[in-house]
């Protein structure tokens, strides 16, 4: 029997195109709300008269509460229409975002970030569950590729616009604008998105807590969760120190950093859908293997660079991110086949929580590996690269096992 990842892909219907666009918009809003905090730090700290340590707490509060909320809600994630769950959490996310935009003190901003994370941290998992429910496996590579472009779009469009609004008015403005636009998105969800309740026709466990327990302890789920942990570890180990590495080690002027992020984001927006199509055409695992090999090569090259011309840095950064996305997009499409329909919501909620927690742990580990030289250079960055290479190699073995299990299930 043919591999479950190599079925011929059909085209999108008109409604499916609308759903993909809507899901990508939701991802864009959630990712932007999380990412916008870091560049606004230079404005928020003097405005609220807080220290870098306090601002770091504000940034991490979102990730921590998002991780907790995923586990807390996982037991209930498959007991309702996914459209209703999406509207509930998206409404809470918009309230939290508006609260951030109105917060006049450190304490209220911290509370607002915790509240926003509790709701925003669940939206990504609901988006993936809806995508899995509404799209055949032969289309999921393209769907995940298009949804993942939200990350690049938040870099190219969202961050510059957020900084423009904050410079034009104040740091509150980006959050208020995001909340207002989100209300329009909520209206579209309410009016146009059809109920996503096909999973409700299947037998459900009576206890939400047992549903959570069985989802966590399912052996094939554990394999996917471990893979998510390793993939998140790789990305979050490099990100926190990338700006300092570019400036102090590679000799890139601070004013040129937006150029690097802009071209990386544009290229990722272009290549994301292409990677998804390739995953549907050639096989999810095959593209994942290619992306892993490319990311290993480019991570080693990137972490060993010395003083480098801007054009070369842009090229290396673009190719490295193409490799990273060539891992994430096919893995998401492959992992979407792992849980049963009645466990997709819980599976995705737990997976999102693990990703948040793993990212925080990875940043902490990387912070213990690298040191700051007397001249401001980041020392021991190659060692971080070797850890990323190691986690990637182990992830390849795990994904190969997942692929074998899916093929065995399809043959049975």
The DSSP code sequence of 21-67 is HHHHHHHHHHHHHHHTTTTTHHHHHHHHT--HHHHHHHHHHHHHHHH
What is the rounded distance in angstroms from the CA atom of residue 296 to the CA atom of residue 249? Answer: 20
Q: What's the CATH code of the domain at 54?
A: 1.20.1250.20
Whether the pLDDT of residue 52 is over 80: the answer is no
Whether the pLDDT of residue 11 is over 90: the answer is no
Express each pLDDT in 72-112 by its tens digit: 777 676 777 888 888 999 999 999 999 998 988 889 999 99
What is the rounded distance in angstroms from the CA atom of residue 392 to the CA atom of residue 345? Answer: 26
Q: Which one-letter DSSP state was computed for residue 7?
A: P
Range of lowest pLDDT (157-161, 201-205, 246-250, 266-270)? 201-205
Spatial CA neighbour of 212 closest among 407, 111, 317, 76: 76
What is the rounded distance in angstroms from the CA atom of residue 86 to the CA atom of residue 256? Answer: 39
Contact yes or no for 96/115 (Cβ under 8 A): yes
Express each pLDDT in 331-348 by its tens digit: 988 888 888 877 777 787
Distance of CA 329 to the CA centre of its chain: 11
Q: Which two tokens stand for residue 407?
A: 């093929």
| Mean pLDDT across 128-154 | 79
Express each pLDDT in 73-83 by its tens digit: 776 767 778 88
| Mean pLDDT across 44-72 | 77
What angle do helix axes 173-192 and 82-102 make, rounded to 10 degrees? 160
Contact yes or no for 199/133 (Cβ under 8 A): yes
Contact yes or no for 152/165 (Cβ under 8 A): no
- Which residues, listed in sequence order, are joined to residue 378 by a DSSP beta bridge? 372
Whether the pLDDT of residue 237 is over 90: the answer is no
Spatial CA neighbour of 177 closest among 155, 168, 146: 168
Range of the domain at 112: 14-411
| Residue 8 is assigned to a structural domain of this protein | no
DSSP 294-325: HHHHHHHHHHT--S--HHHHHHHHHHHHHHHH
Whole-number pLDDT of residue 400: 94
The Cα-based distances of 224 to 227, 395, 397 in angstroms read: 5, 10, 11
pLDDT classification of 2: cutoffs 50, 70, 90: very low
Whole-number pLDDT of residue 40: 73
Pick 370 or 11 by higher pLDDT. 370
What is the rounded distance in angstroms from the CA atom of residue 358 to the CA atom of residue 309? Answer: 33
Whole-number pLDDT of residue 3: 39
Whole-number pLDDT of residue 9: 45
Spatial CA neighbour of 156 closest among 236, 245, 260, 244: 260
| Mean pLDDT across 248-277 | 83
| Residue 1 is assigned to a structural domain of this protein | no
Whole-number pLDDT of residue 94: 94
Q: CB 379: neighbour CB atoms within 10 A?
A: 14
Whole-number pLDDT of residue 38: 65
pLDDT classification of 7: cutoffs 50, 70, 90: very low
Whole-number pLDDT of residue 195: 84
Express each pLDDT in 349-366 by its tens digit: 788 778 777 776 777 777
| Residue % of the chain over a pLDDT of 70 | 90
Number of separate domains in the chain: 1
| Mean pLDDT across 311-328 | 90
Express each pLDDT in 185-195 by its tens digit: 899 988 888 88
| Residue 125 is assigned to a structural domain of this protein | yes
Whole-number pLDDT of residue 296: 94
Sign of CA dihedral 48, 51, 55, 61: negative
What is the rounded distance in angstroms from the CA atom of residue 10 to the CA atom of residue 13? Answer: 9
DSSP 253-284: -GGGHHHHHHHHHHHHHHHHHHHHHHHHHH-H
Whole-number pLDDT of residue 387: 92
Spatial CA neighbour of 409 closest among 129, 226, 137: 137
| Residue 167 is assigned to a structural domain of this protein | yes
Q: Which two tokens stand for residue 193?
A: 């998105």
Spatial CA neighbour of 159 closest among 35, 58, 310: 35
| Mean pLDDT across 114-124 | 87
Express each pLDDT in 164-182 by its tens digit: 777 778 888 889 988 998 8
What is the rounded distance in angstroms from the CA atom of residue 389 to the CA atom of residue 6? Answer: 27
- For the ranges 20-24, 40-44, 61-65, the maximum mean pLDDT occurs at 20-24
| Residue 2 is assigned to a structural domain of this protein | no
Whole-number pLDDT of residue 267: 86
Express each pLDDT in 242-257 by its tens digit: 777 888 889 888 778 7
Q: Which two tokens stand for residue 134?
A: 């509404």
What is the rounded distance in angstroms from the CA atom of residue 289 to the CA atom of residue 203? Answer: 36
Whether the pLDDT of residue 129 is over 60: the answer is yes
pLDDT classification of 233: cutoffs 50, 70, 90: confident
Q: What is the mean pLDDT of the chain?
A: 82
| Residue 317 is assigned to a structural domain of this protein | yes
The Cα-based distances of 217 to 220, 305, 350, 398 in angstroms read: 9, 43, 11, 17
pLDDT classification of 280: cutoffs 50, 70, 90: confident
What is the rounded distance in angstroms from the CA atom of residue 236 to the CA atom of residue 123? Answer: 20
| Mean pLDDT across 57-83 | 77
| Mean pLDDT across 228-247 | 78
């Amino acid at each position: 029997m043919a591999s479950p990842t190599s079925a011929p892909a059909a085209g999108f219907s008109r409604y499916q195109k609308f759903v993909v666009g809507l899901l990508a918009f939701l991802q864009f809003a959630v990712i932007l709300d999380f990412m916008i905090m870091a560049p606004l730090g230079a404005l928020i700290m003097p405005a609220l008269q807080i220290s870098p340590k306090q601002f770091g707490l504000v940034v991490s509060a979102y990730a921590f509460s998002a991780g907790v909320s995923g586990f807390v809600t996982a037991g209930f994630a498959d007991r309702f229409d996914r459209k209703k769950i999406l509207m509930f959490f998206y409404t809470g996310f918009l309230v939290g975002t508006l609260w951030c935009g109105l917060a006049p003190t450190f304490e209220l901003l911290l509370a607002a970030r915790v509240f926003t994370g509790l709701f925003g941290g669940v939206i990504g998992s609901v988006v993936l569950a809806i995508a899995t429910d509404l799209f055949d496996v032969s289309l999921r590579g393209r769907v995940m590729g298009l949804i993942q472009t939200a990350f690049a779009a938040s870099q190219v469009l969202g961050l510059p616009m957020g900084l423009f609004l904050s410079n034009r008015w104040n740091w509150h403005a980006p959050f208020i604008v995001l909340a207002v636009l989100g209300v329009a998105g909520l209206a579209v969800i309410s009016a146009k998105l059809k109920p996503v309740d096909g999973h409700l026709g299947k037998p459900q466990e009576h206890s939400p807590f047992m549903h959570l327990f069985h989802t966590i302890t399912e052996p094939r789920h554990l394999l996917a969760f471990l893979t998510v942990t390793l993939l998140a570890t790789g990305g979050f180990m490099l990100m926190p120190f990338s700006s300092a590495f570019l400036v102090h080690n590679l000799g890139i002027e601070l004013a040129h950093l937006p150029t690097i992020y802009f071209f990386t984001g544009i290229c990722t927006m272009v290549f994301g859908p292409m990677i998804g199509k390739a995953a549907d055409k050639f096989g999810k695992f095959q593209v994942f293997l290619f992306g892993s090999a490319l990311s290993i090569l480019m991570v080693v090259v990137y972490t060993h660079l010395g003083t480098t011309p801007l054009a070369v840095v842009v090229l290396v950064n673009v190719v490295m991110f193409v490799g990273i996305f060539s891992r994430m997009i096919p893995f998401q499409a492959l992992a979407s086949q792992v849980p049963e329909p009645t466990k997709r919501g819980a599976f995705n909620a737990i997976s999102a929580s693990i990703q948040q927690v793993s990212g925080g742990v990875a940043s902490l580990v990387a912070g213990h590996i690298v040191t700051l030289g007397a001249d401001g250079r980041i020392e021991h960055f190659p060692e971080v690269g070797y850890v990323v290479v190691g986690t990637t190699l182990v992830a390849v073995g795990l994904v190969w096992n997942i692929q074998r299990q899916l093929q065995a299930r399809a043959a049975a």
